């Protein structure tokens, strides 16, 4: 299997849903008003940073979030596709031997200072359950792909909620980060080897498409 931050999070949230949705592929994701809005924000930010295309009027109030990104010194890349192999060496996103994949919304690489910045845009209404581990994995991928980068400063930009979650990771942390994510991937492989995909009940069960699961409860 090829892993990603979202795949690992989906498995840890509920192995049964992960199996039905990601492995058996029984259910196709449906666009919602929220996901369409998020896609539009991402596109507007990318166009502004890459081409200096003015933000649409509906998103103009997000300028304080996106302007600093456009002005950081260094090589700026948007939606950069990256992969790493099982031996932690870098590879192309679609490489046959890719192990983990990731697509940071934004990267700024300063090869002179050895500092990179990575950002991910969030359009949820709250940052209460923010997970900075996403930035940790992206930092590891960036340092794997760019040997001159020794520090990665990350931000989760909750543009709707008006909040910013910051992280910083150094090359000294790289072995620990990669080992951690290898362990999380190994848990999925163990489930696959034993063909055991137990459901995990939560308040999200009513939103799950796997309605035949014994933990499913209709929303009220």
Element spanning 84, H or E:
strand 82-84
Residue 22 has pLDDT above 80, yes or no: yes
Work out the pLDDT band at 31, boundaries 50, 70, 90: confident
Average pLDDT for 22-43 = 92
State residue 30's pLDDT score.
Answer: 82
C-beta separation of 179 from 166 below 8 A: no
Work out the pLDDT band at 205, boundaries 50, 70, 90: confident
C-beta separation of 199 from 208 below 8 A: no
State residue 54's pLDDT score.
Answer: 96
- Give pLDDT tens digits for 110-169: 999 999 999 999 999 999 999 999 999 999 999 999 999 999 999 999 999 999 999 999
């Amino acid at each position: 299997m090829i892993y990603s931050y979202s795949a690992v999070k989906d498995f840890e949230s509920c192995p049964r849903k992960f199996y039905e949705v990601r492995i058996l592929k029984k259910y196709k994701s449906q666009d919602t008003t929220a996901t369409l809005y998020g896609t539009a924000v991402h596109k507007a930010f990318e166009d502004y940073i890459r081409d200096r295309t003015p933000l649409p009027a509906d998103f103009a109030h997000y300028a304080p979030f996106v302007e600093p990104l456009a002005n950081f010194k260094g090589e700026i890349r948007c939606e950069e596709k990256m992969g790493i192999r099982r031996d932690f060496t870098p590879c192309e996103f679609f490489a046959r031997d890719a192990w983990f994949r990731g697509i940071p919304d934004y990267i700024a690489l300063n090869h002179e200072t050895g500092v990179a910045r990575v950002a991910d845009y969030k359009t949820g209404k709250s940052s209460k359950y923010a997970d900075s581990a996403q930035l940790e994995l992206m930092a590891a991928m960036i340092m794997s792909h760019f040997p001159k980068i020794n520090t990665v400063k990350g931000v989760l930009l909750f543009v709707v909620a008006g909040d910013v979650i910051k992280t910083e990771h150094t090359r000294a942390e790289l072995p620990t980060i990669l080992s951690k994510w290898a362990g999380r991937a190994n848990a999925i492989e163990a489930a696959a080897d034993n063909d055991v995909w137990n459901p995990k009940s939560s308040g999200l069960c009513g939103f799950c498409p796997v309605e035949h699961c014994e933990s499913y409860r209709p929303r009220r």
